[in-house]
Structure 1
Amino acid sequence: MSDRKEFRDLAPPERAHEAIASLDLDPDPETVPLDDAQGRVLAERLDAALDVPGFDRASMDGYAVRARDTFGADEADPVVLDLVGAVHAGEKPDAAVGEGEAVEISTGAVMPDGADAVVMVERTDEVADDGPGVAVRTALAPGDNVMLAGADVAAGERALGPGTRLTAREIGLLSALGVDEVPVRGRPRVGIISTGDELVRPGGDLDSAAGEIYDVNSYTVAAAVEEAGGVPELYPHAGDDYEEMERILLEAAGECDLVLSSGSTSASAVDVIYRVVEEGGELLLHGVAVKPGKPMLVGRLNESAYVGLPGYPVSALTIFRTFVAPAVREAAGLPEPRTATVAAEMAVEERYGEGRTRLMPTGLVEDATGTTLAYPVDKGSGATTSLVEADGVVEVPADTAYLAEGESVDVQLFSPDVRPPTVFGVGEDDPALSRLLDRLDRPRYLAVGSRQGLRRLRDGVPDFAVVTGERTEDVDATELASYRREWGLVVPSGNPEGVDGLADLVDRDLRFVNRGTDSGLRTTLGNALADLADDRDVSRHDLVESIAGFELAAKAHESPARKVAAGEADAGLGLRATAEKLGLGFVSLGEEEVRVLGNDARLEKAGVRALREALDSALVGVLDGLTGVRQ
């Protein structure tokens, strides 16, 4: 019998929030230099130690006078005062103002003794009858155009209170008070550990044949920790060895307020991290009734808080943002971002019936009227691309059977800076399209293939679809542009096997790599095989069965070619442009038309209009730079 640790009773999401709230993540306060205080949160009240300003000063250019000397002055009957000096900002006055006298003064300058008002220069004229003087054409009251000492902040006054987040304006006030060091709330130090023997840090040598993958979670979670106000500390990734995992976890627990691990939390024989927590601290929770993210741990390691995240990147990020980020923000003294949730309407119906809360990865798109629509982005928890294709999550209660099209939902954004794309497209993976999209502002394009692109266009979710090799009569769409691309077999440089056409794939023992079933290019290949079958008076199925690797499907338009370049195949389905780019040989099998189809309901959307303008003005230039592509 295998040594398998089964999940305990799955806790409801509320219990997970309570367990994390019971952990102590609060770091000690610290003192930082003022120039490092931006964005930090005050740990205690700061009182002004001096008046701001510390002197009576002029609030505009003009003349410092005694207000009573200007009584009755107006445009018709000005009062003439003797000019006895001048004072500028940053200078100590060397003259006093007596009866019938004035001193020229600059904005911000110290008021000279005897003066209690400033007449703006625009209401005066210089005179020189019996020596320098100034004619004042308005009457003043004491205090006019003067900022008294302490008028901004008075010594002893409460300047800023604890919990204040320091932005540019607070930094300015502290500067005026002469504060050079600020007591702030500490930011929780968060140790981040990814587990699994298969992980390699980005930049390291990757052996894909041995099942190695790059470590996504360490950097993804670290960025999310920093966004939440924490200080991420990356530790070496732990393999599946118990003693090594225990060593790294306990080291992090001794140095950090919170330890986050990802992976090794599910109920398999190699997932032993729960035992490390049980033996080195206290396991509060093992398993939460949410999707994604069921394998979640909460506990304590020595004096530190501990949370175990799932291993899949989308699940790890979703669980962190939903359960852990609020606790990190609270420990750092930061509020929940006000713009972290947006209201939207479901773009399509989504059915669900698994009996546990679902945190549904969701993308956003706007229709022609500016209404925000939400659509599911669910390629499986292991799909890293969902990290950038989804804008947030919609929490679907456990007892919800489905979300109806048009139903109102709240989307919890992955970041308050998230905005819907200006234009959203789906469909065929194509090098010309990739270049064209570079000319647009914030587009989003999902290369799901022509078949999926048409299906989604029928559902009304995207703004446009790019298709080839597929019929489109039942789609409410307008063709925005079209062009042709040369397709065929990509072979090694020099074509060492002497491949001449499809017949070679059928009749010879050659290793072939195809595109996925949703690819329009694969449909084009299927049509060509059907023609060959008719010529030979056999079934298309018989031909397909004789091609070694026909069902070996690769995702992107370059993927089969890269298999060929790596020596893993003798031929791959692809484009001349791809073969040219990778320095490979090419056997042409013809051309296919690529069409850009606009959603009829979105043709007046600003992003679609920008797409149409780019297609009209830039398409020719884009195609000129690619071999085997033409209008």
Structure 2
Amino acid sequence: MSDRKEFRDLAEPTKAHDAIASLDLEPEPETVPLADARGRVLAERVDADLDVPGFDRASMDGYAVRAGDTFGADEVDPATLDLVGEVHAGSEPDVFVDEGECAEISTGAVMPDGADAVVMVERTDELGTETIEIRTSVAPGDNVMPAGADIAAGQRALGPGTELTPREIGLLSALGKDEVEVRGKPTVGIVSTGDELVRPGGDLDSDAGEIYDVNSYTIAAGVEEAGGEAALYPHAGDDMDAMEDALTTAAEECDLVLSSGSTSASAVDVIYRVIEERGDLLLHGVAVKPGKPMLIGRLAESAYVGLPGYPVSALTIFRTFVAPAIRRAAGVPEPRTATVDGTLAAEERYSEGRMRLMPVGLVENEAGETLVYPVDKGSGATTSLVEADGIVEVDADTEYLAAGEDVTVTLFSPDVRTPAVLAFGEDDPAFSRLLDRLGSSRFLPVGSREGLRRLRDGLPDAAVVAGPVRREVESVELGAWEREWGLIVPEGNPDGVEGFATLVDGDLRFVNLDTATGLRASADAELERLAAARDTDAADLQSAIDGYGFTLKAHESPARRVLAGKADAGLGLRAAAEKLGLGFVPVDTETVRVRANPERVEKQGVRDLEAVLAGVDEVLAELPGFAPTE
């Protein structure tokens, strides 16, 4: 009578998941050429080290002007400017636009020095060959896409854990990256066991009970699909020495070894003995059908999982227990369907009479329902695609989509997952670093004011708000810190800038931040205090500062302008100044607050964000001018 070893007590499926999770499958990161990066997962965050676009460019055909020369101009009383030259896309400007002058400019061309706005050609007339009549007024920045408007140098472009699809590859290309550090693919050695197996293509003796090896190729395909790298080994017979040689060889070369077959309690199925003698058997038998005969353990320095021999059972167990572990090790998200149904989070109007492929993002509300929100920064912005999850097709005759309306989203990839937490608000280096600690997050740096507006409308899970707030919004504070702000100047402060008073009274070029940012709100408040002290109007002081009305969006962008010699001073943070080796004139501190949507505080992603914020002091210690709140 043969010696049979019975299964040990069958483990619950949760125990099998826990056992596999306890195994270390994660390989070391590796650097790959950008051409080979599609489908890989970033191992570290990627910051932009240049502005995209890298220059201020015209967004339409027309005339580059000084905005101040057009103030008050209209159809009845046009302004007349001298034409001093022309600038074409792809060429370096060789003209300077002085007061009372303009230059013809093409869409995409570099803005010439002196000009700060573009008047579209349709609102102009030629008066001879050297004079242009302007029939509208423009403000600084009108019809100009400033350097860094798509993404600015110093901004967080992509975070660790990002799967690189063609969208992200496009962004990395725009940033000039030719290689990138990615998560390593776990190498999975596959050994099919059993004397009866023959590799496809070999001679099969059916009379002797031989069958083709199905599992090796089936499981290898599953490994590749899950983000691993499969390595096929010659199949092993039921002899213990042969099985031991095959398994230990694979264990020496791979992060995980998968075998199929020889996991039952039969005396000839000896594989569990190999694991017990050469490694550590953690589990033998799972209470699941199909797939009861399953092994989990360690072999040498590798993880080991033994799958059932029947192909259906083997693939079922692989997909249920092993594939998720490989995906976690490779950083690959769980698969999902290619379309998602959801409700529109806010109304969207469209009336151009053409079919619209609207980029949208996804977020889950407190009830687990999918909300869909438009993501559109313009056709020239690469980041619109990175921040979106898919497309909603809007018919040409649809002019209005109501909030709450049901829509179907075609995902960019079946692997797209709704971010665990969605936040809008202030561009802040401390929060940017905290985001790296979240497994799945999306943050849109739209500024404090816009972040609060979106929070009031109920779209994001959280908003990052800095500086003075004029209109409160119901929210739950998750964390807060202080940051020092002021004027960023060239190293050594050659112009002797002491504060905003120097800019008001002097002849210096200043670069400002967008009115939606908390830093800008703090700067405006400081000018109001200065105006009160001088018994004048704050608007007059703003007008006295050259460049106050021409703004950028990212917190580091003004500092980059100063570093490039394009401005004498800029609004910014001490952290940005020290990072770039620039001078800093402190003005004040402001509080940064992370506020949660009160309806989402129990959402798991918000809880994870709150847990990450609990460690903010460690991040603040690394940033000059940052400190915990009192």
TM-score by length of 2: 0.52
2:310 maps to what in 1?
A: 312
Give the distance between the partners of 1:338 and 1:45, measured in 2 at CA: 25
Give the distance between the partners of 2:59 and 2:169, measured in 1 at CA: 23
Matches within 5 A, 1:530-541: none
One-letter identity of the residue aligned with 2:325: A
Note if 1:85 corresponds to 2:93. Answer: no
Pairing partner for 1:167 from 158, 165, 168:
165
Q: Deviations along 1:265-314, whole A, 9 cap, x unmatched?
A: 11112211111111111111111111111110000011100000000010
1:104 maps to what in 2?
A: 104
Give the distance between the partners of 1:10 and 1:51, measured in 2 at CA: 59
Secondary structure of the residue that 1:291 maps to in structure 2? Answer: coil
Q: Deviations along 1:488-544, whole A, 9 cap, x unmatched?
A: xxxxxxxxxxxxxxxxxxxxxxxxxxxxxxxxxxxxxxxxxxxxxxxxxxxxxxxxx
> Would the alpha carbon gap of residues 275 and 342 (structure 1) be closer, same or farther in structure 2, given more than 3 Å must change?
farther
Secondary structure of the residue that 1:206 maps to in structure 2? Answer: coil
> Would the alpha carbon gap of residues 59 and 15 (structure 1) be closer, same or farther in structure 2, given more than 3 Å must change?
same
Give the distance between the partners of 1:286 and 1:26, measured in 2 at CA: 23
Q: Percent identity?
A: 81
Give the distance between the partners of 1:21 and 1:12, measured in 2 at CA: 14
Q: Give, in angstroms, the shift of residue 144 of structure 1.
A: 0.5
Secondary structure of the residue that 2:184 maps to in structure 1? Answer: coil
> Would the alpha carbon gap of residues 88 and 47 (structure 1) be closer, same or farther in structure 2, given more than 3 Å must change?
same
Note if 1:114 corresponds to 2:105. Answer: no
One-letter identity of the residue aligned with 1:154: A
Give the distance between the partners of 1:199 and 1:342, measured in 2 at CA: 43
Pairing partner for 1:322 from 320, 323, 335:
320
Matches within 5 A, 1:218-617: 218-339=216-337
Q: Give, in angstroms, the shift of residue 321 of structure 1.
A: 0.9
Q: Give, in angstroms, the shift of residue 334 of structure 1.
A: 2.1
2:138 maps to what in 1?
A: 140
Aligned-CA RMSD value: 2.2
Q: Give, in angstroms, the shift of residue 26 of structure 1.
A: 0.9
One-letter identity of the residue aligned with 1:13: P
Give the distance between the partners of 1:341 and 1:47, measured in 2 at CA: 31
Give the distance between the partners of 1:282 and 1:73, measured in 2 at CA: 83
Secondary structure of the residue that 1:204 maps to in structure 2? Answer: coil
> Would the alpha carbon gap of residues 313 and 60 (structure 1) be closer, same or farther in structure 2, given more than 3 Å must change?
same
Matches within 5 A, 1:29-108: 29-108=29-108
Q: Deviations along 1:111-144, whole A, 9 cap, x unmatched?
A: 101111011122223331xx33332221111110
One-letter identity of the residue aligned with 1:81: L
Secondary structure of the residue that 2:245 maps to in structure 1? Answer: helix
> Would the alpha carbon gap of residues 307 and 47 (structure 1) be closer, same or farther in structure 2, given more than 3 Å must change?
same
Give the distance between the partners of 1:253 and 1:230, measured in 2 at CA: 15
Secondary structure of the residue that 1:173 maps to in structure 2? Answer: helix
Matches within 5 A, 1:613-624: none
One-letter identity of the residue aligned with 2:327: R
Secondary structure of the residue that 2:267 maps to in structure 1? Answer: coil
Secondary structure of the residue that 1:318 maps to in structure 2? Answer: helix
One-letter identity of the residue aligned with 1:179: K
Secondary structure of the residue that 2:125 maps to in structure 1? Answer: strand
Q: Deviations along 1:197-243, whole A, 9 cap, x unmatched?
A: 22122222222222221111111111111121111111111122222
One-letter identity of the residue aligned with 1:29: P
Give the distance between the partners of 1:295 and 1:340, measured in 2 at CA: 34
Q: Deviations along 1:65-101, whole A, 9 cap, x unmatched?
A: 1111222222233323222222222211111112222
TM-score by length of 1: 0.52
Which entry has the higher C-alpha Rg, 1 or 2?
1
> Would the alpha carbon gap of residues 341 and 277 (structure 1) be closer, same or farther in structure 2, given more than 3 Å must change?
farther
Q: More deviation in 314-323 or 67-76?
A: 67-76
Q: Give, in angstroms, the shift of residue 342 of structure 1.
A: 12
Q: Give, in angstroms, the shift of residue 339 of structure 1.
A: 4.1
Secondary structure of the residue that 2:68 maps to in structure 1? Answer: helix
Pairing partner for 1:188 from 180, 186, 189:
186
Give the distance between the partners of 1:135 and 1:184, measured in 2 at CA: 56
Q: More deviation in 1-10 or 24-33?
A: 1-10
> Would the alpha carbon gap of residues 127 and 48 (structure 1) be closer, same or farther in structure 2, given more than 3 Å must change?
same
